Amino acid sequence: MHDKTISQLATALRDGEFSSVELTRHFLDRIGQHQDLNAFVSVDEENALAAAAAADEKLASGNADPMTGIPVAQKDIFCTEGLRTTCGSKMLENFIPPYNATVIEKFIAAGAVTLGKTNMDEFAMGSSNETSYFGPVKNPWDHKAVPGGSSGGSAAAVAARLAPIATGTDTGGSIRQPAALCGITGIKPSYGRVSRYGMIAFASSLDQGGSMAQTAEDAAIMLNVMAGFDERDSTSLAIDKPDFSASLNDDIAGLKIGLPKEFFEDGLNADVARVVENAIDEYKKLDAELVDISLPNSKLAVPCYYVLAPAEASSNLSRYDGVRYGYRAPEYDDLEDMYKKTRAQGFGAEVKRRIMIGTYALSSGYYDAYYMKAQKLRRLIADDFDRAFEQCDVIMGPTAPSTAFNAGEKTDDPVQMYLNDIYTIPVNLAGLPAMSVPAGFGNDGRPVGLHIIGQYLNESRLLNVAHQFQRVTDWHSKTPEGY
């Protein structure tokens, strides 16, 4: 059962091959068997089986939705009523939300079954899933390697077939980079396409929820559930939602693929470049046209991002003060001492680093010098994409400059860690949709992802382009040994 895509599982459920309870039990057992991955922070067995039983009743009535009875793993950044939501932090270790995030509500309404909450970098700050208070997640392809971050638990769970699909969030590449490193499909929609209500904030102008799955087809089915206007989210787009599955099989002959020269220069590992070039050759066989383009300001995206994101994080994380909810220091002298000790004890090193950087960038005398200049540069990066899309339909390149690196390899060098997102960060700064699809393996046997970037609100074209690649290749069906 765990080798099937959700479209295949949905057919099997309707045909009565097995029940949702049996399917859910199967995945719960697999989660229990592979706890060494540390992919899950919480497993909600009782409620999962109850939801599966309700789904079976709906299936029996013949009134089921495409996602009815399908198990899903939720990133532990989405608030879940009655089930703890930690955001990978000691600060929220025992926090149980009194409400559901909009994304969670939508999955419940669609009849999906929540298996549990997946591990993640603390407050989504990290590129390797090593900053989690609950310990690092292992990459199913090689336990010595990181799974990527911050959605590393979700990526590892899907790659190891502990869940058929999982939710993720992407602030600077946190869906696409772990998808690439774990050999799965992941899509970050356009900013505003998926509601952020109940999604714990890191950087509010960059965060976006998205889907992680085996295939582009499954990602489209998920996005049909997740997307849509939400009046509770002021950044949610009040526009009609298309059927993201409708154009999957459209012919891509004549598709113009932009290849930015900046994405294939120094810093890209040769084995990753080889895999990406081979993937692009597959598109040439499908009669796509290659166009050389330039994104000249993309090389400045990382420093731009690491001013803007920490600045927003320092503001968003100011609410964790030990007063209203979350962790509170057990011993303190007065209110100010409680604030200091709570935040010192409750946050990890990476979160503290970003809070300090952000507070500095927003402080008097430095706001104009750093924050405002970064905002101007963000506009230039977005303009680069606008000009590029006058010449092409989609942009392609590597998702990450290397395959998954070993755990501990970059923890002492934050700059090297940050550079792992060099190809993904520009997309978030511009608010564009993008996805990573499995494209092969590096010399070390670890997965490589092909990065596909689309025009604003054109997720349907992205999914179509990815699906056509997966029709003629089988990289997405590869499973790590032992899983």
- The DSSP element (H or E) to which 291 belongs, if any, is strand 289-293
CB 48 within 8 A of CB 28: yes
Q: What angle do CA 429, 432, 438 make, to 5 degrees?
A: 105
Residue linked to tokens 């787009």: 237
Active site residues: 75, 150, 174
CB 241 within 8 A of CB 200: no
Coil, strand or helix at 115:
strand
| CA atoms of 440 and 225, how far apart (whole Å) | 29
| CA atoms of 452 and 377, how far apart (whole Å) | 23
Over the Cα atoms of the chain, what is R_g? 21
Residue linked to tokens 């922070």: 41
- Per DSSP bridges, beta strands 113-118 and 40-43 are antiparallel
Residue 85 in tokens: 């939501």
Question: What are φ and ψ of residue 169, in 5° steps?
Answer: -130, 155
- Per DSSP bridges, beta strands 209-213 and 185-188 are antiparallel
- Per DSSP bridges, beta strands 113-118 and 71-75 are parallel
DSSP label at residue 142: B
DSSP for 225-271? HHBS--TT-TTS--SPPP-TTTTTT---TTPEEEEEGGGGSTTS-HH
DSSP label at residue 90: G
Q: What angle do CA 324, 326, 331 make, to 5 degrees?
A: 90
- The DSSP element (H or E) to which 177 belongs, if any, is helix 176-182
